[in-house]
Structure 1
Amino acid sequence: MNLAWARSALISSALVVALGSFAALVAQTAVMAGSLSEAVKPASLSFMATGTALGMAMVARATVALVGLVAILALKPGRLLWGLKVLAGLLVAASFAWTGHGAATVGPGGLLHLGADIVHTIAAALWLGALASLTILLLRRTSPDDHALHRALHGFAGLGTLAVTLLVLSGLVNSWFLIGPARFGEIGTNLYGQLLIAKLVLFVLMLALAAGNRFRLTPVLGSVLAGGGDVQPALSHLRRSVVAETLVGAALLAVVAVMGTLAPPSAM
């Protein structure tokens, strides 16, 4: 299967992460310093980058992205390069835990909450990242190697199951800290809770689409390939379903982005 597009996609992603992290560092410094002119001063940036967990996470994220960029430019495609890129992606995803609510919890439960947030972020990155790659493969299908495409879809089933399990378990831990057991009955009375409900609805919808892909559409494609029939109808159904799952995932990310700007019920 031709994966020539992957190199340009990885280069673009590394640049976006590196530049976005630097821009976020400047923006957060401006918030703390009170003005953009103060934020661009070396002393202000240095304090933010070395004196706060938030700033150090942003610097680490940018550094990993730049190292990943050098790797993709210097190394030939192969197991080593793909392994390094996966590791870099997981580190970038994990760094976002220090820019969210998980890093704000103090006391004996702080490490547990932060750890759950790291697992939650990595699991989401695994699911959505693999889903985005499958979407590109299906939309750019120009190779006759449909068996390789079927293997990719089949392989995603195991990864998706792992990601969903980790998301559910870590999500329960995060909800315990962010909402609190005493406030679960009031979850729909504030904007954060309403967005959480929307997030859960989107998550369930993604699960339904993923289940359809795994247990119905992908086996149908495998049967057609084994029988030597026309794969176009099966691929068309898979393409529509995977694209729909990706769009729902994008909507879920938008909801999460807004939730990250709000104070959770436990802080009220």
Structure 2
Amino acid sequence: MDWSAAEAALVATRAVHFAATAITVGDVMFRTVIVAPVVRSEKAAAVSFEAPTLWVAWLGLGFAVISGAIWLVLQAASMSGMPLDEAMSADVLSTVINETQFGHVTTLRAGLAICLAACLTYDRTAIARWGGFAAALAFAASLAWSGHAGSTAGEAGYLHLAADTLHLAASAAWIGGLASLILFMAAARRNKVISLAHDVVRRFSIMGMVSVATLLLTGFINAAILVGSVHALVVTDYGRLLLLKLVLFALMLVLALVNRVVLTPRLVPAGRGALRWLTRNSAVELALGLAILAIVGMLGTMHPAIHLVN
């Protein structure tokens, strides 16, 4: 796995873009389907929570847009074979945007980012919040067309795209939602509304279980298409990196299980102590999730294992 400076920059940019997208989408999903029904009757708690998490969505979207623009320029340099400064010309960029699938996807995602920004601006209205939810889901799922799934041919390509869109949405719901969950638990501790935190954590846990089931199923499909065999998983750089991703995923599952089975039932009797442990565990869980997204940034630039093993 020897990368040039340009390839390393592309990997780093992809990793930042995936992480920013996940945090933005996860925040929108968390606020819409997890928190809103719980804090509907608790205006003070709602206000103390809404401000910091809305900033998370804005910051995440900003990083996603900036990293997306850098990704476009780096991809233009890679596709044209030109130095970076020459690839930034209007002619090269317009060719990439108008005549390649990557360019079309980038244009679509730019439009979705604008829609999401408009919905975040008017976030307090129900129509804007649910419009933002739909735009956020599409913003995450559309990444599938910029990776290996977008270039898989035939009927396997349709299956691969379907699996990857679900995989990306589930990743955003779980990994991205953790950042907002941590902020909510901090606000709940400050405002001493432990019962609200219990309800939110329980609802997030249910969404997490759905996300895990989706990730396991779609991950198996993606691995079958891109790796193909246990041998390829072991002997290729792509396969070994995927194994590392699976190890980090397993560690996230262990932490999530501890949170669900041990700490969440203790929230009401133990109060702030259990909430503090939940916050710490969730922070570690988020760090592992961001490491997984960094690996995803690497995998997308590598040849799939199935192409390297006979």
Q: Answer yes or no: same fold by TM over 0.5.
A: yes
Structure 2 counterpart of 1:210, one-letter code? A
1:128 matched to which residue of 2?
175
Structure 2 counterpart of 1:43, one-letter code? D
Alignment of 1:94-243 (within 5 A): 94-140=141-187, 141-180=189-228, 183-222=229-268, 224=269, 231-243=271-283
Q: Which runs of 5+ in 2 are unaligned?
A: 1-44
Q: CA offsets, 1:108-166, max 9 Å, x none?
A: 31111111111111111111121121122234542222222211101011111111111
Counterpart check, 1:258 vs 2:306: no
Structure 1 counterpart of 2:234, one-letter code? G
Structure 1 residue 76 displacement after superposition: 4.6
Structure 1 residue 38 displacement after superposition: 3.8
2:30 matched to which residue of 1?
none
SS at match of 2:265: helix
Q: Which shifted more, 83-92 or 170-179?
A: 83-92
2:96 matched to which residue of 1?
48
**CA 156–76 in structure 1, closer or farther in 2 if over 3 Å, else same:** closer
How far apart in 2 are the matches of 1:81 and 1:7? Answer: 13
Q: CA offsets, 1:41-79, max 9 Å, x none?
A: 333222211221111111222221122222222x15243
Q: CA contact under 8 A between 1:97 and 1:114: conserved in structure 2?
A: yes
Q: CA contact under 8 A between 1:17 and 1:62: conserved in structure 2?
A: no
How far apart in 1 are the matches of 2:291 and 2:79? Answer: 30
Q: Which runs of 5+ in 1 are unaligned?
A: 225-229
2:105 matched to which residue of 1?
57
How far apart in 2 are the matches of 1:105 and 1:49? Answer: 21
Structure 1 residue 171 displacement after superposition: 0.7
Q: CA contact under 8 A between 1:26 and 1:45: conserved in structure 2?
A: yes
**CA 186–267 in structure 1, closer or farther in 2 if over 3 Å, else same:** closer
Q: CA contact under 8 A between 1:21 and 1:59: conserved in structure 2?
A: no
Q: CA offsets, 1:17-44, max 9 Å, x none?
A: 2222222112211222213344333332
Q: CA contact under 8 A between 2:160 and 2:225: conserved in structure 1?
A: yes
1:246 matched to which residue of 2?
286
Q: Which shifted more, 253-262 or 152-161?
A: 253-262
Q: CA offsets, 1:224-266, max 9 Å, x none?
A: 1xxxxx5122112212211121111122222222222211111
2:12 matched to which residue of 1?
none
**CA 66–115 in structure 1, closer or farther in 2 if over 3 Å, else same:** same
Relative to the length of structure 1, the TM-score reads 0.90
Which 4+ runs in 1 deviate beyond 3 A?
Answer: none
1:77 matched to which residue of 2?
124
Structure 1 counterpart of 2:133, one-letter code? V
SS at match of 1:261: coil
Q: CA contact under 8 A between 1:26 and 1:40: conserved in structure 2?
A: yes
Structure 1 counterpart of 2:101, one-letter code? A
Counterpart check, 1:90 vs 2:137: yes
1:227 matched to which residue of 2?
none
Structure 2 counterpart of 1:190, one-letter code? T
Higher relative contact order (CA 8 A, sep 6+): 2
Relative to the length of structure 2, the TM-score reads 0.78
2:15 matched to which residue of 1?
none
Q: Which shifted more, 135-144 or 96-105?
A: 135-144
C-alpha RMSD of the superposition: 1.7
How far apart in 2 are the matches of 1:13 and 1:240? Answer: 22
Q: Percentage identity across aligned positions?
A: 33
Structure 1 counterpart of 2:94, one-letter code? S
